[in-house]
């Protein structure tokens, strides 16, 4: 089994399981991630901050998290996997609707989800 074949097979396997599918386009109304953030350092922002924020602040936060988790860095930029903004927004909306998630750090949710979301 070659490396790439194995990985392709594995990804296909996951894609089959993953309801959102792989490599799909971001059709529909993708939030434009811009605007002010939540007013706290991105590493500290949690679901309580998310729920308190308005849409514009949330979109700004999604943008910040995209940079935090996967933005260009260093002299030879590298980056971690990122979520598309629509997916990230839904992730936070869904998680943060629950009381138990009130203290969840947004970056932890984001990076865990990115670690299990096939690249777009």
Residues binding another protein (CB under 8 A):
1-7, 9-11, 13-14, 17-20, 40-44, 46, 67-82, 87, 90-91, 94-95, 97-105, 107-109, 111-119
Minimum Å gap between C-beta 32 and another protein is 19
Q: Please say whether the beta carbons of 79 and 71 come within 8 A.
A: yes
| Comparison of 28 and 74: residue with beta carbon closer to another protein | 74
User: In the beta sheet, which residues pair with residue 41?
Assistant: none
Minimum Å gap between C-beta 19 and another protein is 5
Q: Please say whether the beta carbons of 93 and 36 come within 8 A.
A: no
What is d(CA 84, CA 31) in angstroms, rounded to the nearest whole number?
9
What is d(CA 94, CA 102) in angstroms, rounded to the nearest whole number?
12
Minimum Å gap between C-beta 65 and another protein is 11
């Amino acid at each position: 089994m070659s490396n790439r074949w194995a990985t392709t097979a594995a990804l296909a396997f996951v894609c089959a399981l993953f309801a959102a599918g792989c490599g799909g386009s971001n059709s529909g109304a993708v939030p434009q991630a811009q605007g002010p953030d939540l007013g706290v350092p991105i590493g500290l922002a949690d679901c309580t901050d998310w729920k308190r924020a308005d849409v514009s602040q949330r979109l700004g936060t999604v943008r910040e998290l995209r940079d935090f988790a996967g933005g260009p860095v260093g002299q030879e930029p590298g980056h971690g996997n990122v979520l598309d903004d629509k997916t990230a927004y839904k992730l936070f909306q869904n998680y943060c609707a629950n009381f138990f998630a009130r203290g969840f750090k947004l970056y932890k949710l984001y990076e865990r989800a990115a670690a299990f979301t096939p690249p777009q």
